[in-house]
Each structure stands twice: as C-alpha cells, then as structure tokens.
Amino acid sequence: MTEITIPLSKKKNLLMLLGAAIFVLLGGLFIVRPENFTSPFHQNIALIRLVGLLSVVFFGTCAIYGIIKLFDKKHGLIINKEGIFDNTNASSIGLISWADILSVETQSIMTTRFLLIFIKNPEDYLTRAKGLKRKLLHTNFKMYGTPLSIISNSIKFNFDDLEDLVKANLNEYQKINAI
C-alpha cells in the first residue's frame, strides 16, 4: 500500500475564515445596534442581541480554528498501510487504524458531504479525545453511530476521489488480512 498525503487547502481555509469574520462582524452589530435589525414582524431586541452573541461565539470559535489551520504545517490526510491519519477538522482524532475500521459511508448535510468511518471500538476513540473535541466526537456518535468523520472541505482533494481512495485502501487491507 503506497502512502498518500493530501495537504490542507489554504484557499478553502481562507474562504472559511472570511465567512466566519463576516458573521462575527454581523453578530457584533446585532449586539451593539439591535434596533437596526427590527422589523414590523420582529421587534424583540433581546432576541436580536442573543442571536448576535451566539453568532459571535460560534463564528469567533470557527475563525480561531481557521487561523490555527491556516498555519498548520501538517497534511490534512495521510493514508498508508497503518490507516488514515486525519487532520481535516476540529474533531479529527489522528490515526484511525485499518484494523479498527468496519466500513465507510457517505453522508450529506446540505451541500457538505463527509465520510463516516464506522469502527469496532468507538469508546477507545472517544477516550483518546479531551474537552471540546470529545464533545464533538460524542455528538457525532449520537447522530451517526460513529464518532469519526472526514470532510474534504479543508483539503486539496475532490470528495468523490477521496471516497474511492479510502474505500479502495480499506478493501485492500481487508483482503490482505482475511487470509
């Protein structure tokens, strides 16, 4: 099995960072000038401020993550004989061993597609994570039945090609180890 390295996409990361910054600014305006965002249908200034605060907190966190990823020198994904080393998103856990992987499925939320990596021992991966990352993995586990997912939004690689590559390498590993 040949090692394949897929870099993080600085362009996609900059676009995410720009989008997050815009929402942080808009959220700030909702907090400072909520009266500018009332309408005949909606005049609750407290709710407008709350939406602004939530926007600043959520998209501010996204912006901080985007800045960190912008300067991240590691590859987004490394696929080799050991497994998949994932560094694509905030809930990335690092090495996902081929021996742990049961199957790979594609899921979509709106226009974002991602690979769900179903594993034999999800609790092992959940206990490897700490803090916010553990909460993100646990949320994935409750929603999809696995804590692990890989998105292509942050890497320089086509999603369909990524799906084919991961599935082909998993099949190769399973064939070699079925003997």
Are 89 and 133 a contacting pair, CB within 8 Å? no
Look-up of token digits 């399973």: 174
d(CA 65, CA 154) in angstroms, rounded, equals 12
Q: What are phi and psi of 100, to 5 degrees?
A: -90, -20
Q: Residue 40 has what pLDDT?
A: 86
> Assign residue 84 a region: left if phi > 0, alpha if psi is -120 to 50, beta otherwise?
beta
The H or E element spanning position 168 is helix 159-176
Q: Which residues pair with 103 in a beta bridge?
A: 118
- Of 98, 99, 116, the closest CA to residue 108 belongs to 116
Q: Residue 179 has what pLDDT?
A: 60
Blockwise average pLDDT, block size 10, the chain, 179 residues = 90 92 96 92 91 96 89 92 92 92 92 92 92 91 94 88 94 85
Q: Residue 144 has what pLDDT?
A: 94
d(CA 144, CA 149) in angstroms, rounded, equals 9
- Of 84, 80, 120, 117, the closest CA to residue 100 belongs to 120
